[in-house]
Amino acid sequence: MHTLIYFLICRAIGPTLLVFLVSGLFLVVRRLYFHPLSSFPGPRLASVTSLYKTYYDVIKGGEMLAQIHRLHSIHGSVIRIGPNELHFNDHHAYSEIYSAGSHLTKDPSFYNCFGASGSAFGAIDPCVSKVRRAFMNSFFSRRAVIKLEDVIQQKIDLLVSKLETASNVPTNMFLAFRSATLDIITAYMFGHCLDALEHPSFSAPLLLNIQAAIPILWVIKSFPWVVPILVILPRWFGRHLHVQFRALIFIRKFLIDWLNRTAQEAKIHFDPADFTICHRLFDPLAKTSYIFPSMQSKIDEALSLLQAGSDTVANTCTVGTFYVLNDKVVCTRLMDELRAQWPVKTVPVDLSFLQNLPYLTAVIKESLRLSHGFVTPLPRVVGPSGARIAGFDIPPNTIVGMSVTSVHLNAALFPNPTQFNPERWLQPSYQALSRYLVPFSAGPRMCLGMSIAWAELYLFFGHLFRKLNMQIVDTDITDFCTFKDYFVPIHVGRQLHILVVEDI
């Protein structure tokens, strides 16, 4: 009897298994030898399966970008990193992929992993993105920056005060900068901030959960069914999940609670003069001009703004502060310029004053170059007519991308690219290279908050280096040499700690 059952099972499974193996073999042969991208160099395994990227992103942990750079050193300026994906290393390719005239669309398989498909950042269709960005534009205009300046200044003043009264205890600036930027973005989003700067050791639960959730990004990209399951899980079950999943649930709950609070405020006191970004999402008048967002799209937009607004500027401040303090010549010149132009540090100065300081501007540009912004190659899909990128004819429907690190660390553009050298931005020849400073991406889909980010950077660097005499503690250059790619760069070394040694 058992023999008969075994025979019947084998007879049923055998043909299915054979079909599966033959289909798999056919797919491998096609992708290796008959695919439109078969002529482009790259690892054979990457040409066959997207699991190649999953291995470096998930198993190795944020190592795909480092592997891409290794592959470029072997194969040249364009490599095949997936069955239907190319990565470029030629700086000319960057504008050809991301500029306004490229007509390439976002790759949905990538952007959907952020759980923000309803946001301006996550919108795939350019027309939808244009509508969503128009919906938000007034909050990121030059006028909006002027309005936000007082909020930024208040948080920087509080940060300076906290650092001055640290009682000779080293301060973790990785957390301090992120606490400040988190307070700024939550105040701008909701009209009331998180008060992360008031938490002991700058360890606000939301901040710690944002940092804990970052490594899960590539898990969600590789296994997109994870997020829908997390959303429907009962709260009691969340206690049994891995810390990264618990962090994701915490962030989502925080946003829902604060959005509901904003919705109630909008009903009670509906004054356009007091509008914040999230009040705008609940504006009934928006129905007359724009697509009125669903609750899910509100969550998506808030998540996108929270992630971008709390990390990018903070990372630039962290990296820049380290490099300035690590180089006595650079530090002295920056502080000399600030003292000369701002002799009495207790006298308030505004953003426009700081924007006119050339060496401060050069320091910020160099900090942006070496902190990079978003380092993951942002994938674009070539249209049905194909494209020509960096001299190569690219077939229709190909996914193409290029990391900003391939631009910022290009020795042809920036000699000694890993060296922090603000002087390079003061040379007349380098002014033309400002178009290759792309931490906010480029083209019509570039970062909405770029003007606000620049304002924060001027105020952070200007006030900290004019009002405080800082020195590095328990951190050196090796801590900033290597980073993991989790969309944003996560340095693998020790976090920056500083000590305020005396008043200046």
Write out pLDDT tens, residues 261-279: 877 776 666 555 566 777 7
Q: Name the CA radius of gyration of the chain, rounded.
A: 25
- Tokens for 323? 């490099």
Confidence class for position 146, pLDDT limits 50, 70, 90? confident
In this prediction the pTM is 0.89
CA dist., res. 302 & res. 305, Å (int) = 5
* CA–CA separation, 94 and 212 (whole Å): 31
Percentage above 90 pLDDT, the chain: 50
Measured between alpha carbons, how far is residue 275 from residues 262, 308, 460 in Å?
10, 20, 25
Q: Strand 380-381 vs strand 488-491: parallel, antiparallel, or unpaired? A: unpaired
What pLDDT was estimated at residue 377? 94
Q: In what order do the strands lie in the sheet with 105-106?
A: 78-82, 85-88, 399-401, 380-381, 105-106
pLDDT for 423: 95
Among 119-128, 270-279, 331-340, the range with the most confident prediction by mean pLDDT is: 331-340
Domains in the chain: ranges and CATH: 35-502 (1.10.630.10)
Q: So what's the pLDDT on residue 178?
A: 96
Beta strands (DSSP E) in 395-463 are 399-401
Mean pLDDT across the stretch 418-427? 94
Q: Would you state the pLDDT for residue 288?
A: 46
What is the number of other CB atoms lying within 10 angstroms of the CB of residue 45?
A: 10
* Largest separation between any pair of C-alpha atoms in the chain: 97
pLDDT at residue 364 is higher than 90: yes
Supply the pLDDT for residue 239.
60
Is the pLDDT reported for residue 429 higher than 60? Answer: yes
Average pLDDT over residues 190-208: 89
**Distance spanning both ends of the chain, measured CA to CA:** 92
Check residue 251 and give its pLDDT. Answer: 84
Under 8 Å between Cβ of 456 and 184: yes
Residue 400's SS3 state is strand
Q: Hey, is 426 helix, strand or coil?
A: helix
435 CB neighbour count, 10 Å cutoff: 11
pLDDT in tens, 382-407: 999 999 999 999 999 999 999 999 99
Share the mean pLDDT of the chain. 85
Model confidence over 92-119: pLDDT tens digits?
999 899 886 778 888 888 887 665 566 6
What are the start-end ranges of the H helices in 217-294?
217-222, 226-232, 235-238, 243-268, 277-281
CA distances from 156 to 180, 181, 317, 464 (A): 7, 9, 12, 8
DSSP 172: E
DSSP 11: H
For 156, 255, 306, the CA distances from 265, given in Å and listed in that order, are: 27, 15, 20
pLDDT at residue 422 tops 50: yes
pLDDT digits (tens, 9 = 90+) for 163-193: 998 878 899 999 999 999 999 999 888 888 8
* Per-residue pLDDT at 504 exceeds 60: no
pLDDT of residue 47: 92
Alpha-helix residue ranges (DSSP H) falling in 124-141: 126-136
Residue 339 has a pLDDT of 96
193 annotated to bind ligand: no
- Over residues 312-316, the mean pLDDT reads 94
pLDDT tens column, 442-493: 766 677 788 899 999 999 999 999 999 999 999 999 999 899 999 999 998 8
Residue 500, classed as helix, strand or coil, is strand
Q: What is the mean pLDDT of residues 419-447?
A: 85
Per-residue pLDDT at 228 exceeds 50:
yes
